Amino acid sequence: MAPPGPAGSHPTSAEPLSRSIFRKFLLMLCSLLTSLYVFYCLAERCQTLSGPVVGLSGSGEEAGAPAGRVLARGPGEPAAWPAAARRKRLLQGQPWLRRLPPAPGDAAAEEAAWEEEPPGLAGSPGGSGAGSSVAESPPGTLALLLDEGSKQLPQAIIIGVKKGGTRALLEFLRVHPDVRAVGAEPHFFDRSYHKGLAWYRDLMPRTLDGQITMEKTPSYFVTREAPARIAAMSRDTKLIVVVRDPVTRAVSDYTQTLSKRPDIPTFESLTFRNRSAGLIDTSWSAIQIGIYAKHLEHWLRHFPLRQLLFVSGERLIRDPAGELGRVQDFLGLKRIITDKHFYFNKTKGFPCLKKAEGSGRPHCLGKTKGRTHPDIDREVLQRLRDFYRPFNRKFYQMTGQDFGWDG
């Protein structure tokens, strides 16, 4: 038997044993912390995915679920999620974003500029931010990886009008889980028709059964060939027109051009062909676009009125949820987008999304929106109102709606 060591000493084997236990403890602690961090990241990631929207319809059903499919069965019981519904929501909740450069010389592409802004800064000076290029969710990113879904020609198109609020409407609609839309304007039916429908279809995002493919190009409404071309693609296409007081729209149109070309003539000089005689220059596009009745006649030769929805640009600002309700009904969608999705940006003067598609952060139109209009001679504005009045009244009769622009 080995003789005992000096008093107060410990066996030499105890020191390595203690160090070994200490290392194991550190390893376990690091593993625990790593697991907690991964769990936290996954929890944050899941919040960005489109989940059940309970209570929006007031019926206890999941908004957007098939009628009669109650998700909340009772206290403590899990919601019944069909596999297809889970997969669809996974496809809809992609946060990957890419920047889209505007096409050369494409003034309408400027509408793609958006920014992110917390509601707390909405009323502060300069709270509108610097604005960035549109963040388009890549069409069906996860669907491509899973080889699910397919590219379809659009069943609905926002065809106009420029400076009416088309960009805002499209971004609001993209919140809906059953809407898949191209972020940039394809300009197929006015500029690229020669490239063919296969090229056009390839621009579209992947969709699953029950989802709607959409695009928006405001110049379609004033393009003479567009109605026949869209009808040749499908006479069942649903068409959305966002209209706005034509006088205000013309000034907004001029303001956008002025921001790019500060040397252009004044609004007053461009408005008249002969100011002393009071002759309005209808060849100027800013004036011509606002003659809505004239353009609508071309569309009604190819589509019945029931396939066109006219959205008020003014009401889209005052009551975005109300106008979005009409649009969702027109598209045959469940009313998922409600007033809970919006907050009003006092700096810009229009509503913004509390959460954008594929993101948990607020989303607001960028610096290219809400520009301050130049001061225009009141007499010129009144002349324009007098000019548009008969066209407005005819437009009211054709659509069955009074937009209140002559009040």
Q: Say whether 110 sits in a helix, a strand or coil.
A: helix
Helix (H) or strand (E) holding 84: helix 83-92
Is 166 annotated as belonging to a binding site? Answer: yes
Confirm or deny that 55 is annotated as ligand binding. no
Distance CA(139)–CA(310), nearest Å, equals: 27
Residue 370 in marked binding region: yes
Using an 8 Å Cβ cutoff, are 102 and 110 in contact? yes
The dihedral through the CA atoms of 95, 96, 99, 103 has a sign that is negative
| DSSP 3-state of 207 | strand
244 is in an annotated binding site: yes
Provide CB contacts within 8 A for 332, sequence distance 6+: none
335, 219 Cβ separation under 8 angstroms: no
- The number of residues in the chain equals 407
- Cβ atoms of 86 and 49 within 8 Å: the answer is no
164 annotated as ligand-binding: yes
Q: Please tell me which residue in 163, 216, 334, 348 is annotated as part of the active site.
A: 163
294 appears as a binding residue in the annotation: no
Our answer to whether residue 238 is catalytic in this structure is no
- Asked if the bond preceding 134 is cis, omega within 30° of 0, the reply is no
Residue 145: alpha-carbon gap to chain centroid:
24
CA atoms within 13 A on the CB side of 243: 27
Binding residues, by number, are: 163-167, 244, 252, 369-373
Which residues carry out catalysis?
163
Binding residues for 3'-phosphoadenylyl sulfate, by number, are: 163-167, 244, 252, 369-373
